[in-house]
Amino acid sequence: MQYISTRGGMQPQPFSETLLEGLAPDGGLAVPEQLPQVDAETLERWRALTYPQLATEVLALFATDIPREDLAGMTAAAYADFPDEVVPLRSVGGGITLVGLSEGPTLAFKDMAMQFLGQVLEYVLERKDRVLNIVGATSGDTGSAAEHALRGKERVSVFMLSPQGRMSAFQRAQMYSLDDANVHNIAVAGVFDDCQNLVKQLSGDIEFKRAQHLGAVNSINLGRIAAQVVYYFWAWLRVTDGVEPEYREGFEVSFTVPSGNFGNILSGFFAKGMGVPIRRLVLAANENNVLDEFFRTGVYRPRSAADTHATSSPSMDISKASNLERFIFDLVGRDATGVVDAWKALDTDGFFDFSAQQPRFEGEFGIVSGTSTHADRLATIRSVHEESGEIIDPHTADGVKVAREFIEQDVPMLVLETAKPQKFAETITEAIGVELPLSPELREMMDAPQHVTEMADDEQVLRAFVAEHALH
């Protein structure tokens, strides 16, 4: 299996080559030359597998340049600290089942992919005898998932910029309590956009980037997309465990995905293309609904930072959706010229317009969408709690709210649980008046000494810091 760029300007590359770079050299994103196919018989064979075993099978289709036994070692290690089932499913009534993706160390779904990425990065770097210094900006979940996945690794270090005083106490503790020598927390005097600009300045300087072996693990990373495909297979298999064997083949389910950068739902789109019987992929947005607008109208208009709202489902607060380009590539018939033209229009006009194609979004690709607001989130957390006794986090609540608009008779609706409520305790209290107790481990994390370097919003200061602490 080889990977090409959505903009047509990259020699086909194997999986491991796509992991270390962010964008393709032509500014596009790496996509499989063609999606691997899984037939009904193979799906049935996979029914007996544990989650790490299933992950090995699915990832082996993407990572054909890595021996299967090595992949098996990596998936076993990646999910070793999760509960036995790794991804538990539970019904919350009203035809809705939650797919639990937040059982990892940072209580959010990004652990699912990042834990695997940590394993495979170390493996690839060892074989190439290289090191990698990850520089990233975070407003919460991504940074902590990356740090927890990469802590203690020998060939990778992490420099994670976060906006000083803008993260919750929980988020700060989750990152700053790590005291591994290869983890560098940097609190910038500024907002998230300032952090992101600093990262862009550093990685945009090709010479500095080479000399300091800089890399990224952001949401366009193909290793993350591939690892996320696995749980769509898993969820389908677990739902159809409860279906009479003769009706399992082609038994359709729908998924609702709380979305920001279009990474998670893109993995579902890949799973559908590979043969998982998925009827609909429902995209749930919060007030920053640039993607809902696109899927309803065909017009994609990224927002400015000033038009991007800070909401109570903060991990979905995006101004543009980095992974959308991979969907556009399929929409235009896998034709790089079509992608380049769309992005040219975006540059000149501030939007691109596929309204003539909009009926295909649902008809051909099965993607529909909706928006949820703060009031919706609170009402949904409340109603799910009343009906099932379950407490769901605000992002998952956005999912349940939009999922309810697309429930169909006889089609199970699976909502991806993208975070645990403990992570967003203030909103839970606002919704149902309950103070969520912290487990002893979380209590300990909150009380642990914190390790963070405070820094001015100054590129030169950051350069000097990275050059001094980077692995070489």
Ligand X SMILES: *Cc1c(COP(=O)(O)O)cnc(C)c1O
Q: Which residues are catalytic?
A: 110
Helix (H) or strand (E) holding 283: strand 278-285
49-68 residues in contact with ligand X (CB under 6 A) are: none
141 near ligand X, rule: CB under 6 A: yes
Nearer to ligand X, 10 or 140 (CB): 140
115 near ligand X, rule: CB under 6 A: no
Chosen residue from 395, 428, 462, 470 binding ligand X by CB under 6 A? 395
Question: SS3 of 93, please?
Answer: strand
Nearer to ligand X, 66 or 266 (CB): 266
259 near ligand X, rule: CB under 6 A: yes
List 5's β-bridge partners, or say none.
Answer: 30
Residue 183 CB, shortest distance to ligand X, in Å, is: 19
264 near ligand X, rule: CB under 6 A: yes
139 near ligand X, rule: CB under 6 A: no
326 near ligand X, rule: CB under 6 A: no
Nearer to ligand X, 125 or 160 (CB): 160
413-472 residues in contact with ligand X (CB under 6 A) are: 418-419
Nearer to ligand X, 223 or 260 (CB): 260
Query: Which residue's CB atom is positioned nearest to ligand X?
Result: 263
Chosen residue from 52, 263, 366, 370 binding ligand X by CB under 6 A? 263
Residue 423 CB, shortest distance to ligand X, in Å, is: 8
240: amino acid identity, one letter:
T
Long-range contacts formed by 426-432: CB under 8 A, 24+ apart: 426/168, 427/312, 427/377, 427/378, 427/381, 427/393, 427/394, 428/381, 428/391, 428/393, 430/312, 430/378, 431/377, 431/378, 431/379, 431/381, 431/382, 431/385, 432/381, 432/382, 432/385, 432/391
**Burial state string for 428-438 with b = 16 or more CB within 10 A and e = fewer than 16:** bebbbeeebee
How many CB atoms lie under 10 A from the CB of residue 350?
10
143 near ligand X, rule: CB under 6 A: no
Nearer to ligand X, 98 or 462 (CB): 98
Alpha helices in 21-165 (DSSP H): 40-45, 51-62, 68-78, 110-128, 141-150
315 near ligand X, rule: CB under 6 A: yes
How many CB atoms lie under 10 A from the CB of residue 40?
12
Q: Give the number of residues in contact with ligand X, rule: CB under 6 A.
A: 16
258 near ligand X, rule: CB under 6 A: yes
Cα within 13 Å of Cα(45), Cβ side: 8
Nearer to ligand X, 202 or 415 (CB): 415
174 near ligand X, rule: CB under 6 A: no
450: amino acid identity, one letter:
Q
Q: Which residues bind ligand X (CB under 6 A)?
A: 108, 110, 141, 219, 258-264, 315-316, 395, 418-419
